[in-house]
Amino acid sequence: MLTLYHAAPSRSSRVITLIDEMGIGDKITVKHVNIPRRDGTGARDPSNPHPEGKVPLLDHDGTLISETGAIMLYLLELFPNSLAPKPGDPKRGEFLTWMYWYGSVMEPVIVFAALEMNHPGLASTFRDHAAAVARIRAALEKGPWLMGDTYTAADLLVHSPYAWFAEMLPDDPLIKDWVARCMARPANLRTKALDAG
């Protein structure tokens, strides 16, 4: 049995959108849990088995899978779908690069930029938001999606911080149009409506 622990809206909303995009809503039970919010509302939910009390968390027959990128890859392996190239396809290497780059580089640098944190050690380890934007831009110049003609889970994941923090969205029509196209996808709109209750 597959159970997704979700708090609406949050980083787990991206997994809800992926499940919708993949058409596997009938295979996963969504359990709504509470999380502490930055405005002081909410609290850690004792019914959430995530080791840090966070979301998303996927429970597959008692095995816990955390980290949004890992959960997405896991679901895409269980239910192969056009949202990810198949193992053996060289394009899968490019796909895995985006999925890992998001968690290892993109999310840290966008948080550092939002908090106005600068340190040579951060730059040498992660580069910075401008370098991340340049990398996204270079992919979109070939576009229209990060991996070319096809929308993939990489677009879903990598565009997501710009959907939450519009103030971080670069003033660049190529990137703005891509974010708008990702946000306008019916599955994303359905998640937004569900999250709004």
CB-side neighbour CA atoms (13 Å) of 97: 10
Considering beta carbons, is residue 14 or 129 the nearer one to ligand GSH? 14
Sheet of strand 2-6, all strands in order from the earlier edge strand to the far edge: 28-32, 2-6, 57-60, 63-66
Handedness of CA 90, 92, 97, 98 (dihedral sign): positive
- The closest alpha carbon to 42, from 31, 58, 55, 29, belongs to 55
Q: How far apart are CA 20 and CA 142, in angstroms?
A: 27
Residue nearest to ligand GSH (CB): 54
Smallest gap from Cβ 169 to ligand GSH, in A, equals: 18
Residue 36: CB atoms within 10 A of its CB come to 14
Considering beta carbons, is residue 35 or 154 the nearer one to ligand GSH? 35
Decide: is 10 part of the binding site for ligand GSH (CB under 6 A): yes
Smallest gap from Cβ 67 to ligand GSH, in A, equals: 5
Decide: is 59 part of the binding site for ligand GSH (CB under 6 A): no
Query: How many residues are given for the chain?
Result: 197
Interactions with ligand GSH, residue window 38-57 (CB under 6 A): 53-56
Decide: is 72 part of the binding site for ligand GSH (CB under 6 A): no
Decide: is 18 part of the binding site for ligand GSH (CB under 6 A): no
Task: State how far the alpha carbon of 161 is from the alpha carbons of 13, 23, 77, 110, in Å.
Answer: 12, 24, 24, 8
Smallest gap from Cβ 100 to ligand GSH, in A, equals: 12
Considering beta carbons, is residue 10 or 188 the nearer one to ligand GSH? 10
Smallest gap from Cβ 45 to ligand GSH, in A, equals: 9
Decide: is 156 part of the binding site for ligand GSH (CB under 6 A): no
What residue ranges bind ligand GSH (CB under 6 A)?
10-11, 35-36, 53-56, 67-68
